[in-house]
Amino acid sequence: MATEVLVPTLGESITEATVGEWLKQPGEAVAADEPIASLETDKVSVEVPSPVAGVMGQHAVKVGDTVEVGALIATIESGDGAAAASASPAPAPAASAPQAAAASGAPVAGGYGNHGETPVTTNAPAALSPSVRRAVLEHGVDPSTVKGTGKDGRLTKEDVAAAASTKPAEASAAPAPQGAAAATSGGRKEERVKMTRLRQTIAKRLKEAQNSAAMLTTFNDVDMTAVIEARAKYKDLFEKKHGVRLGFMGFFVKAATMALKDIPSVNASIEGDEIVYHDYADISVAVSAPNGLVVPVIRDAQELSVAGIEKTIGDFGKRAKDGTLKMDEMKGGTFTISNGGVFGSLMSTPIINPPQSAVLGLHRIEERPVVRDGQVVVRPMMYLALSYDHRLIDGREAVTFLVALKNAIEDPTRILIDL
C-alpha cells in the first residue's frame, strides 16, 4: 500500500515552494524520516522527509515545479527496495541519460528541465547537496562519472572541481546542451537558466526597499590595528577554549550593539505612521549560500559575548552552505551587518533589509597612509558604510553611530567596559 508524501508546512505566510531536487529516485530504499526531496522557499531550502520506511514510488512533480503546502509530491511503497530496484529498467548509458530525460520530459536532478542548465543525470552515485549541485552546473561536469570522496561516497565541491580541471581539451568543443542557444556559429553562446525562488525574492525585496525608503549612505573609516593585534595575540587561546576561530565579525557585532543602544533610532523601524523602538538587538548577518546571500538573525546579540557571537555566526555559515538553515532563523532582525570585504570589496552602498531602517557594510582591510601625531604612517584601514532610511534616521544620528562604532573598534577596551 502506498503512502502519500505531502508538502509540509513551510512557515508563517509561506504557502508554496519550488522543487529544487529529488534526493531519492523511484525504486530506491527509503528509511523513515530520510530526506527524499529538497524544496526551495522564498528564504531557505527545506528537505522533505519520508513519513515511513519503504521504497520510493513515483514522483508526482518535476524539478522546477511550484507546489503548494499540502500538495502530493510522491508516494512511498512498501518493501525494502531490492525488488523494485531489480524490476526497474536498467539506466541508460551516462552519455545519453541527459538526452533521454529531456526527450521523455522526466525530471532531471539538480536542474530545471529544458532551460539551458547542464543536465545532471539521475544515475549519480549519491544525492547532491545544493553547494555540490551548483558546482556541477558551473563546471559542466557529469556527476555520474565522478567518484565521490565524501561521506557514504557523496560528491564534494572539491571532487567536482578536480574533475573539471582534468576534463579533456576536446570536451570544450562538445555541442551545447539542449536549451542553450548559440547566438552565432562563431562560438558566442547564450544560456537561459530559471531564477531560483530565493533569487526572485531577493530581487523583489531589494527593489521594494529602494521604492519605499528614503535611502542615504554615509561613510567612515576605521583603523584595524588594535583589533588585528588582539586577534593575533589571543586567537589560539580563544579557539582552544571556545572551539571556534576568533574573527573580526565578533568585534563588529558587539560594537554595533553598543552603538545601537546609544542611538536607538538606528535600531528602530517604521510601521504605518508609528516608529517602533526595540530594546534588544537582533542582528541580521548576511552569509553566502549556494543560491545567493541569506540573512539569518543573531537573537539578543547584546546579551552575547564575542565568543557567543562567533559561535553563532560560524554555525550559520556552515548550515547556509549545507542548505539546512531553518525558517525561524531567518525571521525578524532589527539591524543588518553585511561583510563584502571577504570578497574583496573596497567600498559599497548596501541596501536596507526591510522593515529595518539601517544596514552596516564592512569592506576589505587595506594598508593606507594616514596621519598620526603629525606623522604619516601606514595603517590597516577599513571603510565602513551605513545605509539608512532618512525618513527615520537623521544624518547626525547616522554619523554619531558610525563614530561610536569606529571608537569601539579602534580601542577594543571600550567593548570590555561598555564605554
Q: Which of 362, 418, 359, 419 is nearest to 393 (CA)?
A: 359
For residue 390, indicate whether it is catalytic: yes
- Nearest alpha carbon to residue 176 among 282, 276, 98, 280: 98
Pair 343, 286: CB distance under 8 Å: no
Helices (H), 276-337: 306-322
Alpha helices in 16-120 (DSSP H): 82-87, 97-104
Looking at the DSSP bridge assignments, the partners of residue 189 are: 182
β partners of residue 370: 377
Q: CB under 8 Å to 166, separation ≥6 — which residues?
A: none
Residues 80, 390, 411, 418: which is the catalytic one? 390
Q: Tell me the CA end-to-end span of the chain in Å, nearest whole number.
A: 67
**For residues 273-306, b (16+ Cβ closer than 10 Å) or e, as one string?**
eeeeeeeebbbbbbbebbbeebbbbbbebbebeb
Out of 300, 389, 394, 411, the active site residue is: 394
Secondary structure (3-state) at 57: strand
Strand partners, 38: 21, 47
Which SS3 state, helix, strand or coil, does residue 303 take? helix
Annotated catalytic, 282?
Answer: no
Closest by Cα among 298, 317, 318 to 309 = 298
Q: Which residues are catalytic?
A: 390, 394
